[in-house]
Amino acid sequence: MTDFAPAAARRKASPARLAMGLLAGTMLAGIPQIALAQDTEEAEATTPAPAVQQQTVQTIAVSGAQRLEPQTILSYIRLRPGDAWTQAVGDQVLKDLYATELFANASVVNNGGNVVIEVTENPVINRIILEGNKRIKNDKILPEIKLSPRQIFTRSKVRADVARIIELYKRQGRFAATVEPKMVQLSQNRVDVVFEINEGPKSKVRQINIIGNEAFSDGELRGEMLTKQARLTSFFSSNTSYDPDRLAFDQQNLRLFYLTEGYADFRVVSAVAELTPDKRDFIITYVVEEGERHKFGEVTVDSQIRDFDSDALAGRLPMKSGDWYNAKQVEDTVEQLTELAGTFGYAFADVNPEIRRDADDLTMDVNFVLREAPRVYVERIDVNGNTLTQDKVIRREFRIAEGDAFNSLAVSRSTARINSLGYFQENFEINQVEGSAPDRIVLEANVEEQATGELQLSAGFSSLESFILAGSIRQRNFRGRGQTVGLSVNYSRYSKSAQISFSEPYVFDRNISAGVDIYRRDFNSFNFRNSERNTTYEQSTTGFSLRAGVPLTEYLSAIGSYTFNYDDVSLGDEFFENGECRATRFLCEAIGERSSSILGLTLNYNTLNSRLRPSRGETISWTNEFAGLGGSEKYIRSRARMAKYWSIGSGFVFSLAGEGGWIRGLEDSDEPGRDSIRLTDRFFLGEPQMRGFDIRGIGPRIVRLNFVTDPDNPDGPRIPTPIEDALSSDQRFDDAIGGKAYYLGRAELEIPLGSGARELGLRPSVWVDVGSLFSITTPTLVNQPNGRQATQDGQLLFIDEDGLTTTDTVDADGNPLLPFIPASSFYREVFVGDTAAPRISAGVGVNWNSPFGPFRIDFAQIIKKEVGDDTKTFSFNVGTQF
């Protein structure tokens, strides 16, 4: 392996030869230097040189070429046969050859007019090898360097590539990185170029010093900077590394901070970043001048637009005379006045703040001038970039039409509606371009389509469900018409479902939506006993749903629906004895076939800026359903939901959500202890609606208490297990029976992460949930203190003389055996959980838009619960909307 360092010793050469040596800086070490034909000793003679007779070039020959043809080499020089030969001509030949960067060495010899050019070609690169790079992979470095296989090797390119690789590491904050290039000679004048990289440690910001600040402490000013000092508490922060771009950004942050506090003359005199001697860390020093603090003087508005009254606008401005001057507030006011003018059709209104400073009183007079502008009309709406989506799908979301007066609120609403489609890039904006006349404007919707088809295939294993298989396919922009078509199938040991759906947002190009769902769902309800899952009842539902919606206003719409369900609820054979149902009464009551014919009406109010990831706006919906237009079930059910989102700056999004519902039967039950609403039509509450509680973990339930032997009186009668022990036991036996009313509230704060986490779709949040499920007729409970004799294969069991069970009725002596009545047969049922008292949980969660679909993880802490509630600290959901 050969180093690229130049040879230590140089031959004594003439000035001309030295000049050629400098030009030949691309030579490799160990390769002979330039040799000129003239004798250098004669050139250095102390006596005056005699006049040299000028010669004419007769022939020009090339030797030493391997890959290049001699004629190609001669085409690079200016010398031709018949030209006069001089020392300067020979020097120029060498300059021309080295300028091509094709040669490692070259010499020119003139033998009486016969010029011979001897060359040594630069080698060809066989491979580029990177060694020692761990933080930056090959696929990030190789596209950034100039050298590549099958190119001609030159030392200048090597030096440039070394500098480029070091620059890449500096961008990552590794200023101690070094790169040493090496060359491996191969046959046929080929070389491997090896870059030995020592990445070094990541350079941190050890200290941030601020000089000249008096009004604010160093800590307050550091808090305004994006760059942070490296401390133990900032171990996971990426802002502790040095970045020159971030340094410039921090200077702007400092200036903005002081301008918002009234220091209009503030400036950063200098910002210097010094690398410590060990090249591991940086020390940043800011020198600032604060200047005097100013207040607002007279704040006025001078409107040259006839639709606006200057005094009325001035009275609504956020800043008042005597307030500390705030440049950011002035900037925001300019934007608000511009937007206000846009709502009245003045798209190109010019709002100019004129600021007059009084150095004596330290005040800033501000006059907002709204310059006269013509009312603007929409000349044309252009839609560009859509290759699949039809133009009408985009145009029908516009709340402004060609020829209308321009309105910035209508444009903003149009942007929000197009964003909510989910067909195009995030943060889509409608561009405003000047039209053919001063009072004309062109609106451009430059869209970038993204994939709208979804194919999900998943398989897994669960201790509860055994094998789980799921598959779905959905196209949210079918044939580019904005239609949604979906097919989903799910299969596991305890649940199976299949559904086909179709929706059309604009029927016959009119503002009427319609949709249909056809489905089949098989579900096995369960409880746990001895840590094992036990099926309680099986429900099969086959049905369809039709819906149609019309807008009432821009934000309010009405949706009507009709649903027909055919349900079949059954219990296993183990719940029957001699044809009689021996299960808990509410399970026995649910058995049978029935049909539900349901009419529904939903009013929906929606001002969200995005249906997928809202950050501001609100949504309210109210749904009423009537079952009884045919079918066997008759009830009225009502549900209401609302949510409001606030963007509170710096990427934080705060939201409040609430919902509630009730159901009332239209036919009262004649039997005591039997509710008019069947088990399968009631509300249930728990995961995933309310985090921190298990599936159906909240609300009314029946707990079975087994009778056990009294430890203080082993020979006495058996007593029921205390309910506290039963609820905490692994042998817990309970059944959730639902409720007829519920409420649920949620407060959540979404926390922004860095750009890398945003690209991965990670969105952490902290939350608090409050809710309850209640209102059910107290069921008739079963108390069986005497127990029933156990059976095996239909035969009664007895206890033999060894204490073992047997089907024999007498012992060996013919004496009758005692019947075997297991402890589990002695039980008492208790009804708990029917209370409107709130259950409260709090925790943290992370949303992830994973390649497998939406994924959410939550860790919860229970703050308040009631007797009988099932809690759950950790939960995750896949494929749910959030």
Tokens at residue 402, please?
Answer: 């060609």
pLDDT class for 827, splitting at 50, 70, 90?
low
Say yes or no to pLDDT of 3 above 60.
no
Report the pLDDT averaged over residues 682-688.
Answer: 88
Question: Pairing between strand 281-289 and 204-211?
Answer: parallel
Give the integer Cα–Cα distance in Å for 655 and 614: 10
Please give the sequence-ordered ranges of beta strands (E in DSSP) within 715-873, or none if there are none.
719-720, 734-736, 741-750, 762-774, 783-784, 791-792, 795-796, 798-799, 805-806, 818-819, 827-832, 839-850, 853-864
Say yes or no to pLDDT of 762 above 90.
no
pLDDT class for 43, splitting at 50, 70, 90?
very low
Q: Count CB neighbours of 298 within 10 A.
A: 13
**Which comes out higher in pLDDT, residue 517 or 589?**
517
pLDDT in tens, 574-595: 667 666 776 666 677 778 888 9
pLDDT attached to residue 450: 82
Report the pLDDT averaged over residues 797-806.
Answer: 74
Say yes or no to pLDDT of 13 above 60.
no
Tokens at residue 820, please?
Answer: 């075997």
Report the pLDDT averaged over residues 195-204.
Answer: 86
Mean pLDDT of all residues in the chain? 81
pLDDT in tens, 91-108: 999 998 888 888 888 899
pLDDT attached to residue 519: 94
Report, in angstroms and rounded to the nearest whole number, the Rg of the chain calculated over CA atoms.
42
Cα–Cα–Cα angle for 175, 179, 183, rounded to 5 degrees: 175
Task: Indicate the SS3 state at residue 481.
Answer: coil
pLDDT class for 31, splitting at 50, 70, 90?
very low
Report the pLDDT averaged over residues 26-54.
Answer: 41
Give the integer Cα–Cα distance in Å for 548 and 601: 10
Instruction: Give the residue from 58, 68, 54 showing the smallest Cα distance to 97.
Output: 68
Say yes or no to pLDDT of 199 above 50.
yes
Report the pLDDT averaged over residues 389-413.
Answer: 89
Report the pLDDT averaged over residues 320-344.
Answer: 89
Please give the sequence-ordered ranges of beta strands (E in DSSP) within 59-216, or none if there are none.
59-63, 84-85, 103-111, 114-121, 124-131, 178-186, 190-198, 204-211
C-beta separation of 873 from 692 below 8 A: yes
Tokens at residue 148, please?
Answer: 């590549």
Of 14-28, 301-315, 653-667, give the range with the top mean pLDDT.
653-667
Q: In this prediction, what percent of the chain has a pLDDT beyond 90?
A: 29
Say yes or no to pLDDT of 542 above 80.
yes
Q: Count CB neighbours of 381 within 10 A.
A: 19
Report the pLDDT averaged over residues 535-550.
Answer: 87
pLDDT attached to residue 532: 53
pLDDT attached to residue 305: 85
397, HSE (Cβ side, Cα atoms, 13 Å):
23
pLDDT attached to residue 714: 57
pLDDT in tens, 347-370: 778 889 999 998 888 999 999 998
Question: Would you give the distance in Å from CA 379 to the centre of its chain?
Answer: 38
pLDDT class for 36, splitting at 50, 70, 90?
very low
pLDDT class for 131, splitting at 50, 70, 90?
very high
492 φ/ψ sector (left φ>0, alpha ψ -120 to 50, else beta): beta
pLDDT class for 11, splitting at 50, 70, 90?
very low
pLDDT in tens, 264-284: 899 999 999 888 887 778 899
Report the 3 state secondary structure along 464-479.
Answer: CCEEEEEEEEEEEEEC
Q: In this prediction, what percent of the chain has a pLDDT beyond 70?
A: 80
Residues 6+ apart with CB under 8 A from 297: 321, 356, 358, 361, 363, 364, 365, 366
Question: Which position has the token pair 């009254």?
Answer: 309
Report the pLDDT averaged over residues 790-811.
Answer: 74
Side chain identity, residue 598 = I
pLDDT attached to residue 602: 96
pLDDT in tens, 605-649: 999 887 777 888 999 999 999 998 888 899 999 999 999 999 887
> CB under 8 Å, gap of 24 or more: what pairs does 515-521 form?
515/484, 515/546, 515/547, 515/548, 516/544, 516/545, 516/546, 516/547, 517/544, 517/545, 518/543, 518/544, 519/543, 519/544, 521/495, 521/496, 521/497
**Which comes out higher in pLDDT, residue 550 or 36?**
550
